[in-house]
Amino acid sequence: MKEVFIPEYLAKDKSTLKELLTDMQYHVTQENGTEPPFSGEYCNNFDKGVYVDVTTGEPLFQSGDKFRSDYGWASFSKPISPDVIREKTDSSMGLERTEVRSRSGDCHLGHVFNDGPKDSGGLRYCINSASIRFIPYDMLDHERRYSNLKVLFE
């Protein structure tokens, strides 16, 4: 895996996020919600590009690590860098799970499970589309601070 410099991304206050995000995005990212399965915009997107935190723009995942799963949410084998996510124990819903949160925005992204593709490390980052935004590879130069991520695709 190529090393990529990830600049600092700043979190916004809740009132600003309430204005900027859709109701579903706010519910998922700020209230630890979950979008209905198979309803997310990126569940079946396999175009080349980068997925960023919808609240801060921080790069989180790249399309080369995305895979098809039958669970109903976007699935990735790993983040762009282990530093861009935080994991925490989640005992809600009577289950012991590992929640995945973004580093800079501290927003709820989804959960990570140990049932991913073995040849990619065995992890499945199950991510709500409402918590991320997709930037196509061809647009990385046009979006602020993302041209350095092209190295991920070499």
Residues that are catalytic: 126
Structure tokens at 112: 């990570």
Structure tokens at 135: 């930037």
**Burial annotation 96-123 (CB, 10 A radius, 16+ → b, else e):** ebebbbbbbbebbbbbbbeebeeeeeeb
Distance CA 154, CA 150 (A): 7
Distance CA 114, CA 124 (A): 6
Distance CA 32, CA 47 (A): 27
By C-alpha distance, which of 127, 130, 126, 112 is closest to 54? 130
